[in-house]
Chain A
Amino acid sequence: MAKVMPMNIIVPVKFVPDLVEELKINDAGLNLDPDWVRLKVNEFDEHAIEEAVLLKERGMGSVTVIALDADCAEDVLYTAAAKGVDRIIKLCGNFGEGVNSHALARLLVPVIQELQPGLILTGVQAHNDLDGPLGPLLAEFLGFPYVGYIAGVSVSDNQATLRKEFPGGLIVEMEVSLPAVLGIQAAEQPPRYVAFSKIRQAAKTTPIGEQSILDVDCSNGPVIGRMYQPESSHRAEMIQGDVNAVAEKLVEILVEAGAI
């Protein structure tokens, strides 16, 4: 098998509102109220980090994780370092009205180009991607190909073989020329646990490379005219009572539906 040049694997991560917390809309009705938003790393980005570290452990190269400055940025970056990520970078600046996926992609381009990437992994989507996911936009700005919904990667020569997920459990094997951007759906193993003491250790020993960003350019993303929480226009008929009452009523429903 042809030897693979050690390459730079880059993982840009995105922070999203934590849905465990109650979300509220701001007074203008245009965006989430920042006082109520608690950010966390996009779950799919954790899979991207895991996949990158797995590739590193197979001797494919070194891993760099990049994030925008936010309350949770240091935690996320130090945790990544504790998992084996080689370099962690934080982008600082004035984020103004907000950074959508197009803006984030534009910000990342010069930073990533400087790192001479062989492979870029990012979570396939985030739940607040109103203007599309980061991966394909970033790829196009960089002039790289993109494939999403990836659940397996192997690299040889100047290309990667990918397992792309389709509905119904079908997998399509695809080949992409490197450098490329991949949207990770699932890493080949669940994101590993790292002991808190190791994260603390990383916080003491791993420097965060800080870079300043210039302007935030959100163009080609939609302008929100109104944001609101959906009224449930439909509501299930709630069956009251204890377990016995519920079970009885359910059997009635099932009999009526012809299931019994």
Chain B
Amino acid sequence: MAVSPVSQRPSFSQTFYASLQKLPDGERIQACLQCGACSGVCPFGYLMDYPPSKMISALRAGMFEKVIKTDLVWMCVSCYACTGFCPAKIPLTPGLMTRAKEELLLAGNVPVELQDALQNTQRYGNSMGESPRKRAAWVRPIEPPVRIMSQANRPVDVLWFVGDYASFHPRVQLASQALARVFNALGVDFGILGPEESSDGDSQRLAGERGLFEMLAEKNGRVFQKYRFNEIVTADPHTYNALKNEYPALGISYPVRHYTQYLCEKLDRLQPLLKQEVKARVTYHDPCYLGRANGVYAEPRQLLQSIPGVELVEMSHNTTDSLCCGGGGGGMWLDGYQWEQAHVRLSEWRVREAVSAGADILAVACSYETPRFEDAAKMVQKASRLIVRDIAELLSEALGNGKGDANEHYRSS
């Protein structure tokens, strides 16, 4: 091993280690016992040259340059499993893994797929490269029409921040339409930003693009200021996380709830309207950014249990140890890369669990998940009959709005 030159300037490792400690609760990293729980519970820890605990030991040994040269840090899906299990309560996901990705990004060590998503976000305000003008195209079939703030010229009670995938992805648009129908049935006074909305930027932030995240936050902040509303509601846990935990530090602070929390509060008015039976065994997947990262476990389950005919079953990993779908932290844009390294997909693992739990329907509450799990169900043989639905879609169905694309019968037995 080469001897480091004697120098009065701090090494790269030292600078990086010091910067981590400046982040919220970052000084806890000094208390790392090297127990390895993080690397063990990490879904891709076995593939990384430097899973979290090893990364910390490399830092302490002044060898961080080696970490930057590998690209396996991109296997991290920011699922918060490591953070959740660390006995020293080190904020590993935001405080270490994200920062490592930032360094990789600065060094230009970025898989091409991710580059495209980041460049699209910068240019079009969404990772898919769709024209921002079409961001509200999904509202067309909804009656009464969805209010777009720039045309509404009046305050609303709820500003619904829709999000990228919920606006543009054909599968997820169905979930957005379902939620709009539920809001309308309840008489919610809501509006959306439409073309003025930009990506919340949270997944881009977790993928190492802090600068891009701040630009997007500032942009969204300026748009929020134009309008009057009482709270922000979103169907996307990543948006929820950004607005609740990250935007306030940038001076953008509004009350925000996930739609499951919002609807659960109104369950006494919603339940009587749920007249159509949905006869099925349903299992609920806790999204990382609603569950582990923000502690919301009960409300989605309460909503599901309020639907007549639903029998709620739990998968073997649930609530705090729920399995990530693999979409977070840039994972949505690293499928090709992660497949090359791992030859397994986290979403397929999860879908198998759903089938083992005896579920007919896998219920989700995150915009990334309907397409991810449906793709996975196609690839896993025994899951070919598993139906994936956003909770909003099941509620909409229970209101009597029909099944949309669903099959006639949910029950397989």
Give chain A's interface residues, CB within 8 Å of chain B.
20-22, 40, 190, 192-200
Contacts and interface: CB of A to CB of B under 8 A. Distances in A.
Contact of B118 (A20, A40, A193): A193
Nearest to B215: A196
A195 B106 contact: yes
Nearest to B123: A40
A199 B209 CA distance: 12
Nearest to B116: A193
Interface string B201-230: 000000011111001000000000000000
Given A196-B122, A196-B211, A22 B108 contact: no
A28 to B, nearest CB: 23
B152 interface: no
A20 B215 CA distance: 22
B276 interface: no
B112 A196 contact: no
A20 B106 contact: no
Interface of B: 102, 105-106, 108, 110, 112, 115, 118-119, 122-124, 129-131, 133, 208-212, 215
Nearest to A38: B131
A200 B215 CA distance: 10
A38 to B, nearest CB: 8
Contacts of A22: 131, 133
B215 A193 contact: no
A20 B108 contact: no
A19 to B, nearest CB: 10
Contacts of B130: 20
Taking chain B's interface residues, is the majority helix, strand, or loop, or is none over half, making it mixed? helix
Given A21-B133, A193-B105, A195-B208, 9 more contacts: A20-B130, A40-B123, A192-B108, A193-B118, A195-B102, A195-B209, A195-B212, A196-B122, A197-B210
B110 A193 contact: yes
A235 B44 CA distance: 48
* 10 pairs of A and B residues whose beta carbons are closest in the complex: A197-B211, A196-B211, A196-B212, A193-B115, A195-B105, A21-B131, A193-B110, A195-B106, A20-B131, A192-B108
Residue among B102, B110, B129, B211 with max Cβ neighbours from chain A (10 Å): B211
A207 B129 CA distance: 30
A103 to B, nearest CB: 27
A195 to B, nearest CB: 5
A20 B212 CA distance: 21
Contacts of A40: 123
A199 B130 CA distance: 23
Contacts of B212: 195-196
21 contacts: A20-B124, A20-B129, A22-B133, A190-B112, A192-B108, A193-B110, A193-B115, A195-B102, A195-B105, A195-B211, A195-B212, A196-B118, A196-B122, A196-B209, A196-B211, A196-B212, A196-B215, A197-B211, A198-B211, A199-B211, A200-B211
Contact of A198 (B106, B112, B118, B122): B106
B119 A193 contact: yes
A162 B120 CA distance: 32
A16 to B, nearest CB: 14
Nearest to A21: B131
Contacts of A21: 131, 133
Contacts of A200: 211, 215
Nearest to A20: B131
A22 B118 CA distance: 22
Contacts of A190: 112
B207 to A, nearest CB: 11
A40 B129 CA distance: 13
A48 to B, nearest CB: 17
Contacts of A198: 106, 211
A190 B112 CA distance: 9
A9 B115 CA distance: 26
